[in-house]
C-alpha cells in the first residue's frame, strides 16, 4: 500500500481521493495522536484554517466534525494562509493545527496537513502513527467531553498575525510601490493588509475570494500576469504567492524573475550583516541552484543540504539551530519569526532589505549568478535498475562538468520516474548532458 501522507500532508482530488469520510477519520486520528485525552470539560484545542477552494468548505466541516467528536475544541479560522495557522497554534498554545489546502495545486485538488504544538510540521513517524490509527476504532467521546467550535476568533487571529509579521521587520517599506499577486487564494485575506501596514504602496492582483480560479494562470507558479502588472504600474517590485501563501517569488521592475534561491542569498547576506545568521549557514535542498552554493561559499557561509521538501529543511534548521533556510520554489523559513515557511513574511523581509539599502531588487539579486538548470523526468519500469545503470555515466558527466556544473539523479517517491537534473554554464550544455543520461535508461 502506498503511504497516505505525501511530502506535505494528504492530497488528492477532493471528493475522489479526499472524501468526507476520510477527512473525518483523519482528523479524529490526528486528535488521538497529537492531543492529550480529554477529561470532562478540560479539552485540548486545535486551530483549523483553509484556502479559498470551494471544496475547502465541506472539508472544513468534515475535519471540524472529526475533531469535535474526538473531544477537541476548535478555533475555526476560515480562509487564512497556512503559516497563519502555524502562528495561531504557537501563539495560543493550541495542541495542534489543521490546514485544508493543496497549496500550488489546481483548484479540484485539496489536502489536509497538520501542525504539532508550537506550530511545527510533523515528522514522518508522527504521520505514520496517524495513518495507522485510521484502522483502529477510536474511543467514543460523550457528554461534556465533546468538543466545541469557536468561529468568532478568525478576524482577531488575522489582525494578530498581520501585527506579528510587521513587527518582525528591521525596516519599514515606505516609498516602495509593490504589486502583489495573491493567486486567488488565502493570501488575499492577509497579504495586502500586511504590506500596507508596513508602509508600502500596494497594487493587488488575483485576489478573487471565490476559489474557483485559485492558482489558475497566476501566482507563484505563473508569473506572467505579475510581470505585466509590474510594468503597467511602474512598480519597484512584484511579489507572487501561491494558493496557501507559504511561497514567495519576486520580479524586479523590468519583470525579471527572482526565485527562492536568489531570495535566500539576499536574505542570508542581510542576516550576516546584522549578526543574526546563526551558525554562518543556510539550509537548502539538493535541488538548490549551484549559483547559491557559489555565492554562499564566496561569503564564507556554509550550505546545509537536505532532501527535497520544506519539512526536511525545517528539520535540518532545528537540528543545527539555523536562522534561515528554504527552497528554490519560494518556500523560505525565517526561524526567528516563524515555525514554518511563510511567503508573506519572506516578501516583507525582502522588501525591507530593498528599502533599507536603497538598492533595486535587480541589483541585490545580482549577487547570485543562477546557472542554467535542466530537469528531465524518465519513466522507468525499475527505478533501482535505472539508478544502477546511471552510476558510471553520472560520475563521468560530473567529472567533465567540474566546478561549473552538477548532476543530480533521484527517484520519484510517487511515480515510476527517475529525475535527472543537470546544471552547467550554458543551457545547451546542461540539456546535452541531461539528454545523454536520459538516453541511457530510455
Q: Is the pLDDT score of 41 beyond 70?
A: no
pLDDT the model gives residue 39: 63
Residues in the chain: 442
| Stretch 402-406: mean pLDDT | 90
Q: How many CB atoms lie within 10 A of CB 320?
A: 14
Task: Based on the residue annotation, tell me whether 101 is a catalytic residue of this protein.
Answer: no
Are 220 and 104 contacting, i.e. CB atoms less than 8 angstroms apart?
A: yes
- The pLDDT confidence band at residue 288, using thresholds 50, 70 and 90, is very high
In the DSSP assignment, the letter for residue 145 is G
pLDDT band per the 50, 70, 90 thresholds, residue 3: confident
**Mean local confidence (pLDDT), 256-285:** 97
Q: What proportion of the chain, given as a percentage, has pLDDT over 90?
A: 89
The more confidently predicted of residues 36 and 281 is: 281
pLDDT of res. 291: 95
Task: Break the chain down into helix, strand, coil percent, rounded to 5.
Answer: 40, 20, 35
Beta bridge partners of 239: 180, 250
Cell triple for 111: 489536502
pLDDT at 412: 81
Q: Does residue 21 carry a pLDDT above 80?
A: yes
Residue 36: predicted pLDDT? 81
pLDDT at residue 6 in the model: 87
Round to whole Å and give the CA distance between 330 and 81: 15
3-class SS of residue 341:
coil
> Dihedral through CA 262, CA 99, CA 46, CA 54, nearest 10?
140
Rounded to 5°, the CA angle 2-6-12 comes to: 85
Whole-angstrom Cα distance, residue 200 to residue 202?
6
Give the model's pLDDT for residue 8. Answer: 87
- Judge whether 416 and 381 are in contact, CB under 8 Å: yes
pLDDT at 1: 57
- Contact residues for 220 (Cβ-Cβ < 8 A; gap 6+): 104, 181, 183, 240, 241, 242, 247, 248, 249, 329, 330, 343
- Which residue is catalytic, options 55, 101, 103, 329? 103
Q: For the chain, first and last CA: distance in Å?
A: 27
**pLDDT per position as a tens digit, 247-256:** 999 999 999 9
Res. 40: pLDDT tops 70? no
Percentage of the chain surpassing pLDDT 70? 98
Q: What confidence tier does 95 reach under pLDDT thresholds 50, 70, 90?
A: very high
Average pLDDT, the chain: 94
Question: What DSSP designation does 103 have?
Answer: T
Tell me the pLDDT tens digit for each residue of 298-328. 999 999 999 988 889 999 999 999 999 999 9
pLDDT, tens only, 49-92: 999 999 999 999 999 999 999 999 999 999 999 999 999 999 99
Is the predicted pLDDT of residue 37 greater than 90, yes or no? no
User: pLDDT, tens digit, for every residue of 96-155?
Assistant: 999 999 999 999 999 999 999 999 999 999 999 999 999 988 888 888 889 999 986 777
DSSP summary character for residue 11: E
Amino acid at each position: 500500500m502506498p503511504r497516505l501522507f505525501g511530502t506535505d500532508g494528504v492530497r488528492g482530488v477532493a471528493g475522489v481521493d479526499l472524501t468526507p469520510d476520510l477527512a473525518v477519520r483523519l482528523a479524529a486520528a490526528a486528535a488521538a495522536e497529537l492531543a492529550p485525552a480529554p477529561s470532562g470539560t478540560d479539552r485540548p484545542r486545535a486551530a483549523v484554517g483553509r484556502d479559498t477552494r470551494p471544496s475547502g468548505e465541506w472539508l472544513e466541516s468534515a475535519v471540524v466534525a472529526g475533531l469535535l467528536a474526538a473531544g477537541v475544541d476548535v478555533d475555526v479560522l476560515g480562509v487564512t494562509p497556512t503559516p497563519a495557522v502555524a502562528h495561531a497554534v504557537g501563539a495560543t498554545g493550541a495542541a495542534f493545527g489543521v490546514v485544508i489546502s493543496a497549496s500550488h495545486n489546481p483548484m479540484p485538488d485539496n489536502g489536509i496537513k497538520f501542525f504539532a504544538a508550537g506550530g511545527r510540521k510533523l515528522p514522518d513517524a508522527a504521520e505514520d502513527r496517524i495513518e495507522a490509527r485510521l484502522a483502529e476504532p477510536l474511543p467514543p467521546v460523550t457528554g461534556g467531553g465533546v468538543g466545541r467550535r469557536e468561529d468568532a476568533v478568525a478576524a482577531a487571529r488575522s489582525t494578530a498575525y498581520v501585527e506579528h509579521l510587521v513587527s518582525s521587520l528591521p525596516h519599514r517599506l515606505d516609498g516602495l510601490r509593490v504589486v502583489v499577486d495573491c493567486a486567488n487564494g488565502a493570501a488575499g485575506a492577509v497579504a495586502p493588509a500586511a504590506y500596507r501596514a508596513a508602509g508600502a504602496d500596494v497594487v493587488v492582483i488575483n485576489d478573487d475570494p471565490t476559489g474557483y480560479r485559485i492558482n489558475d494562470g497566476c501566482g507563484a507558479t505563473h508569473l506572467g500576469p505579475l510581470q505585466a502588472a509590474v510594468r503597467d504600474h511602474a512598480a519597484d517590485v512584484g511579489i507572487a504567492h501561491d494558493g496557501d501563501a507559504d511561497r514567495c517569488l519576486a520580479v524586479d521592475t523590468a519583470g525579471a524573475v527572482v526565485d527562492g534561491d536568489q531570495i535566500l542569498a539576499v536574505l542570508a547576506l542581510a542576516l550576516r550583516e546584522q549578526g543574526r545568521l546563526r551558525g554562518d549557514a543556510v539550509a537548502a535542498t539538493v535541488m538548490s541552484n549551484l549559483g547559491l552554493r557559489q555565492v554562499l561559499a564566496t561569503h564564507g557561509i556554509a550550505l546545509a543540504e537536505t532532501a527535497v521538501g520544506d519539512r526536511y529543511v525545517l528539520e535540518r534548521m532545528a537540528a543545527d539551530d539555523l536562522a534561515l533556510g528554504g527552497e528554490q520554489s519560494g518556500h523560505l523559513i525565517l526561524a526567528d519569526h516563524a515555525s514554518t515557511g511563510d511567503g508573506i513574511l519572506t516578501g516583507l523581509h525582502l522588501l525591507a532589505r530593498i528599502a533599507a539599502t536603497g538598492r533595486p531588487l535587480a541589483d541585490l539579486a545580482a549577487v547570485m549568478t543562477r546557472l542554467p538548470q535542466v530537469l528531465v523526468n524518465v519513466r522507468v519500469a525499475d527505478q533501482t535498475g535505472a539508478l544502477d545503470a546511471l552510476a558510471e555515466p553520472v560520475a563521468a558527466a560530473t567529472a567533465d562538468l567540474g566546478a561549473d556544473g552538477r548532476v543530480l539523479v533521484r527517484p520519484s517517491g510517487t511515480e515510476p520516474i527517475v529525475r535527472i537534473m543537470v546544471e552547467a554554464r550554458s543551457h545547451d550544455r546542461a540539456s546535452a548532458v541531461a539528454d545523454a543520461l536520459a538516453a541511457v535508461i530510455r
